[in-house]
Every structure is written in structure tokens, then in C-alpha cells.
A and B are shown apart, each in its own frame.
Chain A
């Protein structure tokens, strides 16, 4: 865990992005909530409506709220044009702003309602206009309570901003998500520690302002405000330097293989003189659209995923035809260039323990048909609902005695302990090699192929330098090499590697 202290200094960029995003969201929320609170103070209906809406937003999990802005902004492109960003800063800002509204609004409304009626009468009595009454009396007297609401909002927002990682906005969530996937706890802790420290710092600074307002100490109020402003300016400055020219953005979905390949691609591009940026831990659903819209430049996706999710096809024309169809479709529909196949598949496959398979004399799915009624099949939670399972079951006429669902990690344990005889494995999973599993052949070709393919966004589709740097990867990575790299990242013992180290090893292995 000593690594934390080595990781933390490298999080400067993420911290700056986190500060800018959180501060923007809180600032925007104040701009919306404070005038709304003034209006709510003059109309009971507005008050109830605004507070109900703000409360409603709170019931949506932050993760879902962030994700929901992607389709929303995508549909708004028909109005605002293709230039409207659907990932990254804009949706993150909108979601976090909505999230920050409630505490600010509620405290401001409550503060207004609790103002001493005699002071308000005096304000009228000395002849204040509505505006003078608001600025000279209501606002300064409500300020400490409003500040308390802003403090709550800030802590929430800084916490929730870590989730912005999933929609492609860099934040302190990047190390957290990357660490969770690769089981690198030092990385997770570093991310959590940094965001917690930021939240605490913000909370304390705003507390100073709040106390300053309550005690009418100009020194405390303006001192606190100055430090906050300096912090935001420093973050803005840190963000503005360094990224004059747009870098090549490489995406990684939330599993080890993706992190390793992103590093491999990145290191090759850097060697070719490109500046790169990693967008790790993206939700699987947003990656394809992000590449199509050039929010992201390079991603590794899988033919089977695109086939069913985007081409909406359920037939299986075979590995080669599927790849060609997808490559043509990407070029035609999205302007996305499919540079080629990396050489391995990360497909669904049925796997058995080596000894058990030999004992039963099973080497393919055809061999399994006779044995299946005595066996238990295990799958990940969604497997038995997926078209792949239906296709295999119907093609071979497989009838198992029992089917059980396991979380992916436990699926392999269940196979070892005999709680399952056959499982739905992923072909590039490192544990296939580590556990000495046998992957059953699929002679009827019922399982669709999941060739790993390299997608280039329209923005860099015609960049000869990028193509030249990445072409050596095409067809170069065998499933064995990928399994080994995945295992190196997934394992828990002293041989565990970071995705970057595993990428270096992988590059050596495939002689790049």
C-alpha cells in the first residue's frame, strides 16, 4: 500500500479536472437555485414545485443520472447540431448541477421563511423597495444558512464527480475505477483519498466563509472566498497548460483486457510522437457512440457486441463475413475506420476442468450433448438471457440437469469446487490458462465470434501516422498472449502487474 504515495503526485491532472467540474457544477447550481429560492419565497406553489423537483432528482442514483444525459444530449443533437458534445464535461456538468440544486435551494428557501418578521416590517417601514429589501436585508441575513447549503452541495458534488469517469470526463474517479477493475487497491485508495481530501478542504473553506458571514467577520468571509477562488484558478490554470493541441484519446471499458490494450496502443502512439490521453473506465454502452462522435479516438471493441447491439442482427454468418459486414457498416454509417482485428477473440465459450473433460471424454459441444442431463451449467448473471445461450442450446439440443448463475469471479471457483461442471467462460480470460481449463469446440459455429477489433474515430480515420503506428498490432495478439496478460493483472499474488506493465510484457511477447 506504500504505492499510494507514489500514485498521489501523479493525480494532479485528475484533481484539476475534478475541481473545475465540481466548482462549475456548484456555481451553476447557485445561479439556478438562488433566484429560484427568491421566487419560491414569494409564491407557495413555486416553492413546493421547485423543492419537489429537486428532491425527485435526488432519488435518481448519481450514476444513472450521469448516464441518462448521454441519450438526452444525443437526441438534442437534432436541435443543436452534431457539434453538441454528448460525453465528457457537458453531461457531467449538467447531471452534477441538478444534483447540487436541492441542498442549496432547500436551505435558501428555509432561511428566507425563517427571517424575523419584525425585521422585514422594519425594512418596509424605512421605505425599502423590494430589491433593496432583498439585497440589504434578506440576502445578508440568509447568507450563513445559504452557505451551509452550498457546503452540503459541495461535499456531495465532489463525491459524485468521481462517477463522471463513466461518461468520459476525467476526474479523481479515473484511478478509482481503474483500480477496482484491475484489483489495484492502492490506485482505488489513492483516488478515494484525494477526493475525500478535496471534499474536506472545500467543506472547511466554505465553513470559514459561513462563520464569517454569520459573525459578520469580513476578514473570514473574504479570506475564505479568496482561497476558494485561488484554488479554482489554479485548477483552471493547470488544465489550460499542457493541452494546447488535442491529444489522441484512447478509451478503455471497465475490464482488465481493455486497460492493457489501451496502454499498449498508447505506448505505440507515444513512441510515434503522439500525445495521448486515456479515458479509462467508460461504460460499455457509451464507448461505441463516443468513437462515432469523435469524443474518443481509439477503442477496442468486439464484433459480436457491435453485431447484436448496433447492427441489431442475431444470425451468425461466420467469423469472416461478420467482420467484413461490420467494417463496411462502420465506414458507411459512422465514418469510423476499423483498422483491423487484433487476432484474438473474447467470446463466450463453454469451459470445463481439464481432468473432468477428459474423464467424461468431452472435447466439443457435440460430445457434451449426451452428458449434459447429468451436469450443472454455470453462467454469469445475464448469460441465460442472452441470444448466445439460446443459439447454442437450440443448435445442439443441450439439456442440462441444472443451470446456476454466478458472479464472473465465483464462476471459476464453482468449477473448481464441482458446484458447476461446465461454465460460460470468456475466451481471453486469464483464468482459463491459470486453472488449466478446456474450452469446448463449437463445430456447428453456434457461438458468434467476438473478434477484438481496433476502431478509429472519424477525426483520425485518415491519419496515416496513427495507422502506421498501430498496424503492427493487427493480427499480432494471440488468445494465449492475451490470456497471460489478463491473468497478470487479475492475479492477487506477488506476480500481479499493473495494466501498463502487462502491456509492456505483452508487447515483448508478441515481438512488437
Chain B
């Protein structure tokens, strides 16, 4: 009962505070006999930070990739700023949608600066060195790193460059697929905070896929939970912590909560 109210509130808020930047309209994705996404309807308001949480195989990555058309829905459509993404030129669309993923995928034969500048370069725009330095500063990297090659960087530095590359085209929307999955916990936490900060300062709309509910609760202001290709919960972190969202969402919330309680108990014993 609880999450129905939560969803209602979230939807009302999405409709009243800002027009939806992103809208999934009956999205179904099938690969042969496998249905990865089984029908998702959802709106995401401009300016929101949405975490898309679920276990492996829940369809969260597939749903995310329909946004920048790396995956084309079998049925339904995705609207970005009220336009069907399938009608937009992929190169143009992807410049407006920054994409960060676990593999990072820095081009090994390009320097850091060339990697960051690639999106604008594809549409014939050359980024000034000052802009590269500014983007490196945004992700807290030394501007002197611009001339380095990706294999000279640590994993965390590489993903920072990945984020800078996603931001280089001044996107309206940032989509991230397990962006911190391959990083060590300290780097992971630091970069999470940084992304949240950039989200606010740059006025971005962010959708982040993660399997880590703690990360979702700490960074997002709206959490969508997916299970077996369907949205099973849609609530704010506060609502989820208050027990809303249903059994599947609560099972995911229980993990970090229990960890936190056990840590607190240990501290209490000391």
C-alpha cells in the first residue's frame, strides 16, 4: 500500500515541479526469447538525480541504454525533451546525453585531452585547451594530465576522465551504468560525492544504474527499483528507509541497513 502512495507523490512532484526531461512509454526489450525489459512507463523530471537499482539481470542496464539508443526497444518509445529518441540522429542525441559506464572505455590511442574532446570533435567542434583544463578541474584532476595516455592513469583517474568526457558536450542528461563498479571503496565514495556535487552545480539531470542500494540511497533523490524487467518500486530514499516500496525494495534496503546497524553496535561496544 505504502509505495502506491509514494509513487503517487513522486509522480505529482514530477508533473508539478518541472516538465519531464525523460519519459519511458511502454518500453519492452526482447532479445530472442528473453525479455529484458517487460514494459516500463516512467517519467523523469529535469534536475532530478534518479538511481535505477536492481539485482543482476533485472533489466536496469538495458532500460538505461534505450535512452541513448545503444539498445532499441522492441515495443514502446523513449521521449527525451518530448522527442522520440529513435527519430533523433544518434550522434546528435549522444552529444546531449553524457554516458559513463563501468568499462569506462577510454580510447587507448588518444591522450586524456583527446578522449575528453572526442564528442565535440565528432560534430566538428574543437575544444580549447582551457576548456579541457576546466573539465579536468571539475573532476579534480591536474590539468597537466591532459597530455597523458590512458594507460598511465589509475582506475579512479580513468573514470574521472570518463566523467569529464561525458560532460564535455555540456549534456542535458547524464546517464551512468554502474559507473563506480570497478573502483575501490575509497575512490568509489569520493567519486560518488563528486558526481553528486557536479549534478547540483551544473544543473544536470542524472540517471544512474547501480546494484548497490547504499550508493543509491546516499546519492539519489529518487530510487527506481527493477525486478525481472519491471519497475517494482519508485520512491525517495527517505520513503524507502521508512519502509515504503514493497518487499523487493525493502530486501535491497535491508542489506546496508543491517551493515550500518552492526557497525554502530560495534562502535557502541568499544
Which residues of A pack against B, CB within 8 Å? 116-119, 121-129, 132, 136-137, 140-141, 216
Contacts and interface: CB of A to CB of B under 8 A. Distances in A.
B101 A121 contact: yes
Contacts, number: 62
Q: Count chain A CB atoms within 10 A of each CB in B91, B105, B108 and give the residue with the most.
A: B105
Contact of A126 (B104, B118, B149): B118
Contacts of A132: 91, 122
Contact of A125 (B68, B108, B123): B68
B156 to A, nearest CB: 17
A125 B70 contact: yes
A127 B105 CA distance: 13
A209 to B, nearest CB: 15
A141 B107 CA distance: 9
B119 A118 contact: no
Nearest to A125: B99
Contacts of A216: 109, 149
A122 B122 contact: no
A125 B122 contact: no
A126 B99 contact: yes
A466 to B, nearest CB: 62
Contact of A121 (B70, B93, B109, B165): B70
B90 interface: yes
A118 B109 contact: no
A125 B119 CA distance: 9
Q: Which 6 A-B pairs have the closest CB atoms?
A: A122-B105, A118-B103, A127-B94, A125-B99, A127-B91, A118-B105
A132 B91 CA distance: 10
Interface in B88-127: 90-95, 99, 101, 103-109, 118-119, 122-123
A127 B93 contact: yes
A124 B123 CA distance: 14
A302 B165 CA distance: 78
Nearest to A129: B91
Contacts of B103: 117-119, 121-122
Interface in B66-80: 68, 70
Nearest to A120: B105
B95 A127 contact: yes
B108 A119 contact: yes
Given A118-B104, A119-B105, A141-B108, A124 B118 contact: no
A125 B95 CA distance: 9
A124 B177 CA distance: 14
Contact of A124 (B70, B119, B165): B70
19 contacts: A121-B103, A121-B105, A122-B104, A122-B105, A122-B107, A124-B94, A125-B70, A125-B94, A125-B105, A126-B99, A126-B119, A126-B122, A128-B122, A129-B90, A129-B91, A132-B122, A136-B107, A140-B109, A216-B109
A327 B96 CA distance: 83
Contacts of B92: 127
Contacts of A118: 101, 103-105
A116 B108 CA distance: 10
Contacts of A122: 101, 103-107
Nearest to B114: A136
A279 B124 CA distance: 57
Q: Count chain A CB atoms within 10 A of each CB in B91, B95, B109 and give the residue with the most.
A: B109
A127 B104 contact: no
A136 B103 CA distance: 19
Given A121-B103, A122-B103, A126-B94, 9 more contacts: A118-B101, A118-B103, A119-B107, A121-B101, A123-B105, A126-B122, A127-B122, A128-B122, A216-B109
A216 B99 CA distance: 27
A137 B115 CA distance: 11
Contacts of A117: 103
A128 B108 contact: no
A219 to B, nearest CB: 16
A125 B105 CA distance: 9
Nearest to A140: B109
A355 to B, nearest CB: 81
Interface in B111-145: 118-119, 122-123
